[in-house]
Amino acid sequence: MLYREAGDFKTSYVKDSQTFPIKADRMAYFALLAVAFLVVPFIINDYWANAVAVPFLIYAIAAIGLNILTGYCGQVSLGTGGFMAVGAYACYKLMTGFPEMPMLLNVLLAGGITAGVGVLFGLPSLRIKGFYLAVATLAAQFFLVWLFNKVPWFYNYSASGQITAPERTMFGIAVTGANTPAWAKYLFCLVILVALAWLARNLTRGMVGRKWMAIRDMDIAAEIIGVNPLTTKLSAFAISSFFIGVSGALFFAVYLGAAEVGEAFGINKSFLVLFMIIIGGLGSMFGSFAGAAFLVLLPVLLKNLLVGGLGWPTDLAAHIELMIVGGLIITFLILEPHGLAQLWRVAKEKLRLWPFPH
């Protein structure tokens, strides 16, 4: 048997609290990292980068961000699109305002600015919960999109109202702009995703994560054992918004290249990322990745199958595709309300005993 937990004993608490306590998991993780860094960049082409890899990496960052807020801290947010727009516009203003600034710094600063905005819109969470908070964050979504449309300073008074990413290089290779090679886009996003995912994982397995989950599971009990609801909720908003801001910056600068706020960062984006974490699994790092992969890959897969495989007309395929994705989401939620992460967990528990039923 390749995958088993039995006999994998831990002899220290450090080893017991590591991210992948099971040896097989750990090896699979390192193997995956090695392939992602050492193999994929050499074989990736424009189609794979633009249709699959880059959107997956960017949405994974957004999904981790929203999962921190909604999945770990229990604060429902429908403002993801708006916060991504903050990241995108902050990145644009930094890129055009300070042409000498390294691109990585631009992206991180854009995340930092979004974190500030997120804290501001997180303030209502101290008084309201659940659906009411969702409505408050919905207001953020509409307000931010309106703001970036209405105030010309944000799009540098361009006639079209669009923002366009100028070319920026890292180590002499373009990472934004029209001349960016596919592998550079991919690697740039991958490095950021891996670094941020590592930070998120550390936060969620430590005391910060426990505070968030305590607030999520029972806020009164959390307060009674010493969790300060103010700082805990706002830290979740800040860190979540940082992730979402970074993903917005990458989405605009690396993936789209040019964006119009209502189209790129509308309410649809908020729902898309929310669906990702619901389908993937709330409060699970694996779920963030799985959900992003599911919703990015499924449409591509269906399109290839229907148009390429069955030869259907493109417009018909596009409509059918929407219906199938929608249907699958509903089926999934009925079969496994806790998402792909739970399926994965159950599968692992079964594997422990396999081939015996008990």
Partner 1 sequence: MSNSGDGYMTADGRKIGGVMMEMKNITLRFGGVKAITDISFDIREGEIRAIIGPNGAGKSSMLNVISGFYVPQEGEVWFHGKKRAPMRPYQVAQQGIARTFQNIALFEGMTVLDNIMTGRLTLMKSGLAAQAMWWGRAQREETEHREKVEKIIDFLEIQHIRKTPVGRLPYGLKKRVELARALAAEPKLLLLDEPMAGMNVEEKEDMCRFILDVNDEFGTTIALIEHDMGVVMDLSDRVVVMDYGRKIGDGPPDEVRSNPEVIRAYLGVGHA
- Tell which residue, 120, 113, 111, 161, has the closest CA to residue 139: 120
Q: Considering beta carbons, is residue 162 or 348 the nearer one to partner 1? A: 348
Q: Is 213 in the site for partner 1 (CB under 8 A)?
A: yes
Cβ 70 to partner 1, closest distance in Å? 13
Asked whether 185 and 298 are in contact (CB, 8 A), the reply is: no
DSSP state of 177: S
What are residue 164's DSSP bridge partners? 258
Options 7-15, 28-36, 80-88, 130-138: segment touching partner 1 (CB under 8 A): 7-15
Q: Segment 146-205, which members bind partner 1 (CB under 8 A)?
A: 199, 202-203, 205
Options 105-113, 128-136, 213-221, 292-300: segment touching partner 1 (CB under 8 A): 213-221
Q: Segment 272-291, which members bind partner 1 (CB under 8 A)?
A: 283
Q: Considering beta carbons, is residue 236 or 249 the nearer one to partner 1? A: 236
- The per-residue DSSP string of 148-168 comes to HHH-GGGGTT-TTS-EEPPP-
282: which 2 tokens? 């709330």
Q: Is 337 in the site for partner 1 (CB under 8 A)?
A: no
- Tell which residue, 52, 60, 36, has the closest CA to residue 298: 52
Specify the DSSP element, H or E, that contains 258.
strand 258-259
Count residues contacting partner 1 (CB under 8 A)?
31
Contact with partner 1 (CB under 8 A) among 45, 156, 179, 228:
228
Q: How many residues does the chain have?
A: 358
- Would you give the binding string for partner 1 spanning residues 238-267, x where CB under 8 A is met? ------------------------------
d(CA 150, CA 139) in angstroms, rounded, equals 16
75: which 2 tokens? 């604060």
Instruction: Enumerate binding residues for partner 1 (CB under 8 A).
Output: 12-14, 16-17, 199, 202-203, 205-208, 210-211, 213-214, 216-218, 220-229, 235, 283
